[in-house]
Structure 1
């Protein structure tokens, strides 16, 4: 697919003609919102390090060795923590909202950092999305569909120009 991608037009050149993925495709097929606030990263100097923010928002404080730099976390560490939560059965009808929100944020990190907006390493994932899931009530205000598509376009652009060897993208978009 990389060989067929044209960064000038953001289209695939196939035997049957040009094809591309549109915002409407993202919204209709996957239900990802395309209207709303853009996702962009603003990191004020006073912001807590990601590891501390992760602990505060999710109750999960990974070991330092599980952190890849300042904003990356080994997927296996996050998955192990979620398995532990599932085994403990901490959530029931009497649970406080905070006890429900913390694991929900962990699952959202997997969805955003590992599935819809992945990196090429496969072993770790970005936890920068904590910035957007701190207030779960605001989650629907963001244009996740536009972010997923822009991320995919950027990945294909970089790979087609030889800057990267692999593409990090939400691959189900390509399969449909």
Structure 2
């Protein structure tokens, strides 16, 4: 019902850290894109749609502005945590937020207590947070799709086109950050795939 099912196929294991770090060095937060020798590139909504099979059309949720007290009350109600625990977390974050690590702790504690409703809520919210803030799986897939000459990757033997495209790849031997930097420095327009999802359109049409 949440349309987050595609994330179940996304892997956060076995990341090519050298490759990711080389790209992170070229990321500019002010412009939200990568500064490369051939120009600037960014991850588009089409990339998100194909790599993760997440919806990109329509309103995902309605955000409400909450103060600290309302946030603490909500955490107590939804996750059944102690008031002091909720207050400590929002105080640590200095606003109406919680950390992904805190959600993982809530999830693990709920599982150990067999509080499945709480565990499901924590897990779902963690998936959303990972997608928005820390989706290295999608970033790796984006690199593999658009830059075939950079990094080392293997194709998944059990990949099917009805799965998210990030599931298609698994990192091979970890790329040295020095090598990844050199590959980026010598990047040419001819080595970039600007339309990598053509064969995926039958399963996942362009929006």
TM-score, normalised with respect to structure 1: 0.49
Per the normalisation by structure 2, the TM-score is 0.43
Structure with the greater alpha carbon radius of gyration = 2
